[in-house]
Structure 1
Amino acid sequence: MNDSRSIRLHYLFRAVILLAFALYIGHLVQQDALHYYVAPKLARWIRLCPVPLSLMALSLGLQAVLGKSSVLCDCEHRLPQSRWGSSALYSLFLLPLLLGFFLPDRALGSAAAARKGLSLSYTAIESGSGGKFTSANPYEAEFAELAGKLYAQPVIPVYPEIFSETLGAISLYKSQFAGKEILLSGFLYREPQGQGQTGYAVSRFLVQCCTADATPFGILLQPGTQISLPADTWIEVRGKLAVVLYQGVETLQVVPEAITAVPEPSTPYIYTNADAAAAWEALQPLSVR
């Protein structure tokens, strides 16, 4: 068992770490950088965390300084008894804090997409024929409704608010959308394909909770497209949809007519939408270039 002096030091270390986490979250809130790490539905709660963290740090600090030696103990959770053990334990918390403070806050890009593997389409069975978009599957019915609304557009705008749902609906009826014009934006993903060739895709990260579960999601650009922009440049692409065989699977691709570099959006990630068809209606007043 540790003596009271050792326990006080551990309490102080823990108080400092809790306070550092509170300051780091406060820093992210002040810099408006929480969206780089967590989804909006979680960010609203994360913003409140500095308050309880600071209170816990204050409590531990007061116990370390003013607490009676007779009531200080490590009975339930044994504290490390060696300096090496303590250093290893607290470095697990200090290292990510240091990285967070000193590394720039930025969105995930091509490097993370290459590690995770870029998802190019939903693995859905194509259904419907002609100009009809129907499905007996309740899950696909939502996409069918959205597909009907998209098909009626002369130029299909892929809004960030329903990015994955839009591409999912088009993918479900990919053959019917072949030749339709589309407008979308994302970061430029470059994938070497051997023999000096490079493949391109317009990509976004789909985030459910935080960047730990982020999935890179995108659509291919026609092979041979000449792009001089570096990877991770945010671009807007206007072109026509086509269905190609990619790695043995029928996949959507865009034959670009115009590629324009654009600023990175304030919210670079995309999130799922429970009612994509209703969201589409709400987004209609937005202008389409």
Structure 2
Amino acid sequence: MRKRIFQFGVMGNICLFMIIVILLMSIFAPLIAPHDPLLVSLVNKFKPPSFQYWLGTDQLGRCILSRLIYGIRATVLTSLLAMLATILFGSIIGIISGYFGGKIDSLLMRICDIVLSFPSDVMIIAIIGIISPSLFNIIITIVAIKWAWYARIIRSAVLRYKHQNYIYFAKIHHASFFYIMSKHLLPSIGGEILALATINIGGVILMISALSFLGLGIQAPTPEWGTMLSEAKDYLINRPYLMLPAGLAITLTVIIFNYLGDIMQEKINQKSSTRHLIAISDENQVEDKS
């Protein structure tokens, strides 16, 4: 396990470390945050950065740093939960479609074509605008709109591995679908699924922040980075610095996830190329002997 972690390289390990720190900050937010993020104090509104308020206070006198730390829960953890549900549902559909093929594959892929025919971001905003904005509705909507794209990607990965000799060997010995999936397919495509999720988590963070910025996401006074940007935009001319904390938090978090996902994808591509070259070399050796 230790060797696999250090295979990400220096920058990859830094990104992984920063993600772990962000997640730990969200878990231990009550211990880390210096103030109550919901505490309103009009006497302290628009306070500049100081030892008491490291990033200052907002228009209601609330500690910006405390709201930024608690906002990790609403922004990042919600994005991770939505991505996990989307990947899980998309993986199930993609594995079933790629493994069984035939009419099942055709039916599921036609459904994917219908879902993918609509612009995803516009559809998410439209659906959330129609139904009541809430955490549960946001996650369900993202899953309902995004699953088809992941199902197609994972189906393609399954098609690459389902004709391997170890899969045929398992079928000959009458291994069940669930055994083949858990012992062979998932270990083969698990790295690609993880890299895909890591790369796209940034897009989900931007989507949830955008929904909250438009008033369609997590509602005030719950601390959330998009909501903080929406509240700060009203004071953009007089106090533009209020936009910086949440804006930089969103930007840096998205960059970290995207960079780590790119590194993981590059490692997977290198392994695939190595396996391909080994297979070609083995075939050439067999031809030479014959």
* TM-score, normalised with respect to structure 1: 0.24
Larger Rg: 1
Q: Which has the higher contact order (CA 8 A, sep 6+)?
A: 2
Pick the structure with more strand per residue.
Answer: 1
* TM-score, normalised with respect to structure 2: 0.24
Pick the structure with more helix per residue.
Answer: 2
